[in-house]
């Protein structure tokens, strides 16, 4: 924790001439970008995997017709097909899972009043008027919903909602192009149909995360969410 706190402080010092009092917030955004760059090779692999799964859809459809009366045999046949073609149906989860340690580290860092037995100086940093260690509940409790602090959260919520809507529209368009497979028109991988249907809507759950975690962690989530939207548009075009 002390090492990470020192890293954030040094990044904030470097960015202070440009961002002044919001330098620590800018440092968190920069840190998030560095994390996303580190997992970029996995994101590329996940994109290749998604294209490979899309290429297998006609063969999966044939298996579904062949084994439509035997769900267990269908599931086994589809999994064998993915194994044969060396395509993992869950490869797209890895980039997100590998980011969790960075998120939890930020959460702990801005939730702790002390670090290494000393006062946590990072809690004094702000994004405009909003403390990086504060939460949306604090804004509501203080009646500052329409103040500068409240507007900071409104902006974060707007970004998350916009990205979630884009993800939903993209998923529906992809499902329509593939004949409905993956969003209510059949299971691309038997047993994962419910997950496939729910995934486009899970982005809206990020709104809850932004509302309940410290602002520093919320900045990480929003930056990573926006990065994912741009990355997906580039890698899946």
**Residue 208: predicted pLDDT:** 92
Q: What is the pTM of this model?
A: 0.78
Instruction: Provide the pLDDT confidence category of residue 183 given band limits of 50, 70 and 90.
Output: very low
**Residue-wise pLDDT tens digits, 48-98:** 777 777 777 788 788 888 877 778 888 888 877 777 767 766 666 777 777
Is residue 135 predicted with pLDDT exceeding 70? yes
What's the whole-number average pLDDT of the chain? Answer: 81
Mean pLDDT on 157-178: 81
- CA-to-CA dists, residue 157 to 131, 163, 182, 199, angstroms: 17, 10, 27, 19
Residue 175: per-residue pLDDT: 63
pLDDT given at position 32? 93
- Mean pLDDT in residue range 22-37: 93
Out of 87-101, 139-153, 162-176, 179-193, pick the least confident. Answer: 179-193
Alpha helices in the chain (DSSP H): 2-19, 23-38, 40-55, 57-66, 71-84, 94-109, 136-141, 148-177, 193-202, 206-212, 215-235
Taking alpha carbons only, the member of 187, 160, 163, 170 closest to residue 53 is 187
């Amino acid at each position: 924790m002390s090492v990470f706190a020192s890293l954030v402080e040094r990044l904030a010092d470097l960015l202070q001439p440009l961002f002044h009092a919001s330098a620590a917030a800018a440092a968190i955004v920069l840190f998030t970008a560095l994390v996303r760059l580190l997992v970029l090779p996995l994101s590329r692999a996940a994109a290749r995997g998604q294209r490979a799964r899309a290429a297998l859809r006609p063969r999966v459809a044939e298996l579904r017709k062949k084994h439509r009366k035997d769900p267990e045999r269908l599931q086994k046949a589809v999994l064998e097909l993915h194994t044969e073609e060396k395509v993992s149906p869950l490869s797209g989860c890895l980039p997100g899972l590998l980011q969790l340690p960075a998120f939890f580290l930020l959460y702990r860092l801005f939730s702790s009043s002390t670090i290494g037995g000393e006062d946590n100086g990072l809690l004094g940093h702000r994004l405009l008027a909003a403390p990086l260690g504060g939460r949306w509940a604090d804004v509501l409790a203080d009646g500052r919903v329409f103040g500068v602090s409240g507007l900071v959260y409104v902006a974060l919520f707007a970004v998350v909602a916009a990205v979630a809507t884009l993800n939903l529209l993209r998923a529906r368009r992809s499902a329509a192009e593939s004949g409905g497979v993956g969003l209510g028109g059949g299971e691309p991988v038997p047993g994962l149909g419910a997950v496939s249907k729910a995934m486009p809507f899970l982005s809206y759950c990020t709104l809850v995360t932004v509302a309940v975690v410290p602002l520093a962690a919320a900045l990480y989530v929003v930056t990573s969410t926006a990065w994912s939207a741009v990355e997906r548009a580039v890698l899946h075009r």
